Amino acid sequence: MFKFPCKNSTSSSVAKERLRFVLLSDRTSINPELLYDLENDFIKVISKYMEIDENLLELNINKDAGNVMLKANLPVKRVKTY
């Protein structure tokens, strides 16, 4: 499981999240830079339609029998209306 670092994170918590990110990359055989870009793009796209709590956002990436699954837990504050 990967949690996005809070905006007011300490250096130790940021380092812990980076380590978790690297382990996630190793487990799924996905380049760490690609995972980082994926998370940023994911937030941008979802935020276009919903206001979310990025501090509580969780992404799970699992690899099973050659398949990679992405599961997201998105705490939605409100849905944007146009």
Work out whether the CA dihedral 40, 46, 50, 53 comes out positive or negative. negative
Q: What does the pLDDT look like over 1-49, one tens digit per residue?
A: 444 555 556 788 777 777 766 776 666 677 777 877 888 898 899 999 9
pLDDT digits (tens, 9 = 90+) for 57-75: 887 777 777 777 888 888 9
Contact 22, 56 (CB under 8 A): no
Give CA–CA dist 59/23, Å, rounded.
14
pLDDT at 48: 93
Tell me, what's the pLDDT at 7?
53
Dihedral pair phi/psi, residue 14, rounded to 5°: -65, -45
CA distances from 29 to 9, 38, 71 (A): 27, 14, 17
Task: Answer yes or no: pTM beyond 0.85.
Answer: no
